[in-house]
Structure 1
């Protein structure tokens, strides 16, 4: 009994940590706040999930033994939790390994993971109200105790009032869960056609975006190069402009397929301006003065890295990195530095923002 009490309290603590960290990852405001605090929220969520899964597996036998003589509501609570936990674990695993799976499966896992989180909120509220502030939920006596089942229930004959009651309860749960989910509007910069291929979740590491007028943005290449170079947007547009259609993948599990991107190859920029780096390492800096990531020279020159200024025939919007961002077709989105202002060549390769803050892979290949 003492062991189960400890398991119950540990379950509650881990669930609260997962719930809060998961919601914080979903909402851009809280995600940004944790980034500014330099707290590795993604890694924290993953490690707590792993520990939670281990606790669940090792406690199931004890829990079901204890439940053998308990009221029906206890069984419902246990099975509801297990069902949601299984769905969260499976969808989370798909999100984690989404680079090995089709895009539609990865995007579906992201959607399911989020929806089931918000749909669980009503039950969390009811369960918490019953335990913490002793609110008496008007459950039927046979549901709260081990009393004999009514004939309509034991014979599976629902009366009209039962049908109406369960229907209204289901609608209420959906309304509360989905209503909370859509309190936070999601920026969808794509048109109707793009909605069918996914949409961009906008992440940033500061609470604001850089604001540029066309005349104020510039891009500089300096450091270990024979001669530094600074280009305005007009200078950039004088270079060969190309369009590619590619998928944009985020390491958190979502993707946008078949995005048309227009921009300038880093290779063409170097060739047209006779840039000769004296080292093989470069760091790309964002105009937010916080974010940066690093590359090798072959990754920038030989693998199709671009300076992009249009998505799907429209110039970038501010949250997407207006007026210009980096894009590498073979790497996750965290390598595509938004609001790029500078490319500095260094004698040693720096670890990027998310390599320091989140232990992300330095190269970020898909």
Structure 2
């Protein structure tokens, strides 16, 4: 948003950092070196449920984006560079039904977060596997994390494994614990109370 170095890129209540803080609930998942134990599923309100192996996922078209990211804990990191598969691409593979409105994102270990379906069709929303030209580090979501830069960063689930396409919204891990359902950093939607 706004000018490259302008203050208008920093949502209210945020502080810019050059570091990339590590925050998550639970243990960091470990996968086989060849990722033969990894897959990505799209299921629920779809015409063709999808299950992609690592090899099939990596054959999908990719995109690079440069975006600002904002954490609910009040840090922002500007101009981050990511590469991944556009989230819209995997939804197209599955054929989302017209009545679908939301997605419950599933990630290891037993993590979920919810986003409106329309969010996943934005050009800068990726199933990211690279950060700053390198594969994601385990603590940042290796092998794949969802990148939803216009929401607080807990919506960008690490270790993502699937999209459950829904007609009605269903809150995820942090949302049932009091985090705001929409998570818009420009409105400071940190918590629901």
Give TM-score, length-normalised by structure 2: 0.83
The answer on 1:211 being equivalent to 2:56 is: no
The answer on 1:235 being equivalent to 2:56 is: yes
Quote the offset at 1:274 in angstroms.
Answer: 5.0
Are the counterparts in 1 of residues 100 and 167 from structure 2 also a CA contact under 8 Å? yes
* Helix, strand or coil at the partner of 1:353: coil
Moved beyond 3 Å, runs of 4+? none
In the alignment, structure 2 segments of 5+ residues that lack a partner are 1-9, 186-193
Are the counterparts in 1 of residues 36 and 53 from structure 2 also a CA contact under 8 Å? yes
The answer on 1:329 being equivalent to 2:132 is: no
Q: Distance in 2 between matches of 1:304 and 1:275?
A: 20
- Which residue among 129, 139, 150 is the counterpart of 1:309? 129
Q: Distance in 1 between matches of 2:122 and 2:153?
A: 19
> What is the count of residue pairs matched by the alignment?
173
**Equivalent residues in 2 for 1:172-183 (5 A)?**
none
The answer on 1:250 being equivalent to 2:71 is: yes
- Which residue among 100, 103, 115 is the counterpart of 2:12? 100
Q: Residue 288 of structure 1 corresponds to which residue in structure 2?
A: 109
Of Structure 1 and Structure 2, the greater strand share is in 2
- Which residue among 8, 12, 18 is the counterpart of 1:198? 18
Are the counterparts in 1 of residues 49 and 94 from structure 2 also a CA contact under 8 Å? no
Higher relative contact order (CA 8 A, sep 6+): 2
The answer on 1:221 being equivalent to 2:76 is: no
Q: Distance in 2 between matches of 1:257 and 1:232?
A: 32
Cα distance change on mapping 1:303 and 1:356 into 2, 3 Å: farther
Are the counterparts in 2 of residues 225 and 276 from structure 1 also a CA contact under 8 Å? yes
Q: Residue 113 of structure 1 corresponds to which residue in structure 2?
A: none
- Which residue among 139, 164, 169 is the counterpart of 1:349? 169
Of Structure 1 and Structure 2, the greater helix share is in 1
Q: Residue 269 of structure 1 corresponds to which residue in structure 2?
A: 90
Are the counterparts in 2 of residues 199 and 255 from structure 1 also a CA contact under 8 Å? no
Are the counterparts in 2 of residues 267 and 300 from structure 1 also a CA contact under 8 Å? yes
Cα distance change on mapping 1:286 and 1:247 into 2, 3 Å: same
Are the counterparts in 1 of residues 46 and 94 from structure 2 also a CA contact under 8 Å? no
Q: Distance in 2 between matches of 1:339 and 1:364?
A: 20
Q: Distance in 1 between matches of 2:43 and 2:149?
A: 24
Quote the offset at 1:276 in angstroms.
Answer: 2.1
* Helix, strand or coil at the partner of 2:52: strand
Give the RMSD, CA atoms, in angstroms: 1.7
Q: Distance in 2 between matches of 1:304 and 1:259?
A: 12
* Helix, strand or coil at the partner of 2:80: strand
